[in-house]
Amino acid sequence: MHIEFSPSRRSTVGAEWELGLVDRRSGELSSVAEQILEAVRPDGQAEHPKIKQELLLNTIEIITGVCGTIAEAKADLNDSLDVVHGVADPLGVEMFSAGTHPFSNWYQQKVTDKERYAKLIDRTQWWGRQMLIYGVHIHVGVDHREKVLPVLDALLNYAPHLQALSASSPYWGAEDTGYASNRALMFQQLPTAGLPFQFRKWAELESYVEDMFTTGVIDSFSEIRWDIRPSPKLGTIEMRVCDGLPTLEEVGAIAALTQCLVDDFVERLEDGEILPTLPPWHVQENKWRAARYGTDAIVILDAAGRERLVTDDVADLLDRLEPVARRLDCVAELRDVETILRYGPSYRRQRAVAQQHKGSLKAVVAALVTEMREGIAKD
């Protein structure tokens, strides 16, 4: 099977941000996506070009166009947020983004009436119906197919860093799971989800995809739902590691870190360097540690088994990537990662709110809604 990769201009960026819809008074999820999507649909068009439906009727997704800078991507997302707020506010509906809703029950949620979603639920049953989860996906353009898999493999070294910084799903079904990102481990239960295989050549990927088609596992490439995957039609590497992020500032920070990592790896490839990779068992262990411990995770750095606190490694990484950020005009957005380190990822902030309000998860949802509108509360 031949998989055509449509090259993109190097290091262009795009973002997909999944948003939950909640009732303003109760904080419960609200299945009003169809009403909102109809209200924002431009006259004469089947749908809004940047505000999309998702698996569940309590969810919408906003996407950017192809952007040259992170600032441009943030402005694009903000414009869509304003459009959605304009129609959701009169309905008494708010938006939030986190890996999971702290207390709404999965079995009460309605699935969007679309054939591909019905097929997914029919196949995956109990696990599929439990996918009450939200994420952020970042696309970064790659200008040649042969760079894609080496860069993807190298990105896996930093998947736990991205997971820890974005972790925002400590609660599930009104219980504290003990995990920073319960979403990360739930999502990998779906067929073809989870960590990618570490293919060395494009032909190996093509052979894998052909096998998946032949055996009926998938009907389209998009059904490969890896944490990091090539997106051949768009000409990008798509980073899907992250939980839903509550604020535009955090989306920008994670997007900048992803863009800088990809661009740095491409530059090093062009200079003839063989990019560092981790054995698959280390990659798997790092994912679990980041999901469990968040920014307290001790991650494995190399095949020799050296380990380090993930936040210490992030701090050094930001310094190393600063020249890349200057080249990409995203220094400020990359440094916004330091805001996450200072105030804590969302899972920490959510637990702090619950503690301040005697365990109230309604207060947690209210805080997530406020952050969506106002950003992280700073001292």
Q: How many Cβ atoms from other residues are within 10 Å of residue 113's Cβ?
A: 10
pLDDT in tens, 301-342: 999 999 999 999 999 999 999 999 999 999 999 999 999 999
3-state secondary structure 124-138: HHHHHHCCCECEEEE
Residue 120 has pLDDT above 90, yes or no: no
- Mean predicted confidence (pLDDT) in 235-241: 98
The pLDDT assigned to 369 comes to 98
pTM (two decimals): 0.96
Domain boundaries, the chain: 10-372
Quickly tell me which residue has 């109230």 as its tokens.
360
The pLDDT assigned to 109 comes to 67
The pLDDT assigned to 113 comes to 66
Residue 117 has pLDDT above 70, yes or no: no
| Beta strand segments in the chain, E | 13-23, 51-53, 59-63, 93-96, 136-141, 171-172, 175-176, 193-194, 225-226, 228-231, 236-239, 298-300, 307-309
* Banded pLDDT at 110 (limits 50, 70, 90): confident
Which of 3.30.590.20, 3.20.20.70, 3.30.70.260, 3.30.300.180 would CATH assign to domain 10-372? Answer: 3.30.590.20
